[in-house]
């Protein structure tokens, strides 16, 4: 090596570093989050969809959380019941003046009487994703956060796995306006079940930045926190998010700046987030909603391997896992 020209030594060093970086990138742990469970196969946020997601070996299983009238955290995506239950048939006179049915207006016992179905348009009655589990068939019910944690922890024990939970605090301001501190209630339950530090298999997320900052600073949570992001303008707030959060959850489209015949170009979001030690878990990878992608494989490849995301939310955890394992 001593007899080689200096420039050749430099080139060889760069080449070795490049190969090492590619190797490290290719073996980086990618986090697969089962979005509302295995929702590509079964109605979202049902116990059945969570059990299937566990069997598919997702790294984390997501829980959207809304409070009932009697302060029980319910696993459901919206503060409304209209689009995933038969509430209008069961309780036709319980809607508010705006014509909608709110979870917070029903006790847990009342909520458990409702039939849960595949998501549909409450105005037309048509199923949102036509090729998924047939709307109105079989029998599914709403359940509490405690029910789901016990299911996942029980399956972990019986299977020897260590699959985590990924709860989301939904609409904290709405709950506050209705006299409920949803964040405190949820944190107390998480602590009871052994989720209180960043070393525990729990990632807590919220779209409301003010509330997530409160969870860290006022409520003193030591959990791994992820700031969900809805709008591209939020890309400029990463330094603020890094002051209390450990990661971000942007819409995957905000990682892409353009698409041309030669491929995709990307925003600086992932690069800037990584500089601030924020992990990036974009949402939502759906095989039956590809947008500008030619295939589910291309969607995963572009967002994970090209844009550099650290994982993401998917309705099809088994297929995302298969694609990632083939790539690795």
| Catalytic residue list | 35, 77
DSSP secondary structure of 160-208: T---EEEEEE--HHHHHHTT--HHHHHHHHHHHTT--BTTSSBEEEES-
Q: Give the phi and the psi of residue 232 in degrees, each rounded to 5.
A: -60, -25
Question: Residue 177 forms beta bridges with which residues?
Answer: none
Query: 56 to each of 38, 78, 317, how far by Cα in Å?
Result: 8, 25, 7
Cα distance between residue 311 and residue 166, in whole Å: 13
Q: Which of 281, 280, 292, 287 is nearest to 315 (CA)?
A: 287
Helix (H, G, I), strand (E, B), or coil: what is residue 256?
Answer: strand
Angle at 325 between CA 323 and CA 328, to 5 degrees: 110
Short-list 245, 68, 224, 34, CA closest to 146: 68
Alpha helices in the chain (DSSP H): 6-26, 47-55, 87-90, 108-111, 145-159, 172-177, 182-192, 209-217, 238-242, 269-275, 296-300, 317-327
């Amino acid at each position: 090596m001593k007899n080689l020209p200096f420039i050749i030594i430099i080139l060889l060093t760069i080449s070795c570093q490049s190969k090492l970086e590619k190797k490290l990138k290719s073996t980086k742990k990618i986090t697969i989050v089962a979005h509302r469970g295995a929702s590509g196969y079964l109605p979202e946020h049902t116990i059945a969809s969570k059990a299937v997601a566990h069997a598919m070996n997702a790294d984390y299983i997501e829980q959207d959380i809304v409070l009932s009238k009697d302060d029980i955290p319910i696993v459901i995506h919206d503060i409304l019941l209209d689009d995933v239950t038969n509430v209008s048939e069961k309780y036709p006179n319980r809607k508010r003046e705006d014509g909608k049915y709110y979870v917070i207006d029903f006790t847990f016992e009342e909520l458990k009487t409702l039939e849960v179905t595949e998501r549909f348009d409450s105005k037309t009655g048509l199923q949102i994703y036509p090729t998924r589990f047939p709307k109105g068939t079989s029998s599914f019910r709403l359940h509490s956060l405690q029910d789901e944690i016990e299911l996942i922890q029980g399956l972990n024990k019986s299977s020897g796995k260590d699959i985590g939970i990924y709860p989301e605090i939904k609409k904290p301001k709405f709950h506050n306006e209705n006299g409920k501190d949803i964040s405190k209630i949820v944190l107390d339950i998480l602590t009871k079940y052994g989720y209180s530090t960043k070393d525990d298999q729990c990632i807590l997320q919220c779209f409301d930045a003010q509330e997530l900052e409160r969870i860290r600073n006022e409520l003193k949570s030591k959990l791994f926190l992820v700031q969900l992001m809805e709008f591209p303008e939020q890309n400029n707030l990463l330094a603020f998010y890094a002051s209390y959060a450990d990661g971000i959850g942007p819409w995957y489209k905000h990682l892409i700046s353009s698409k041309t015949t030669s491929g995709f170009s990307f925003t600086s979001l992932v690069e800037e987030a990584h500089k601030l030690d924020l992990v990036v878990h974009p949402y939502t990878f759906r095989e039956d909603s590809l947008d500008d992608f030619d295939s589910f494989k291309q969607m995963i490849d572009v967002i994970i391997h090209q844009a550099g995301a650290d994982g993401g939310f998917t309705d099809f955890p088994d297929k995302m896992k298969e694609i990632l394992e083939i790539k690795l």
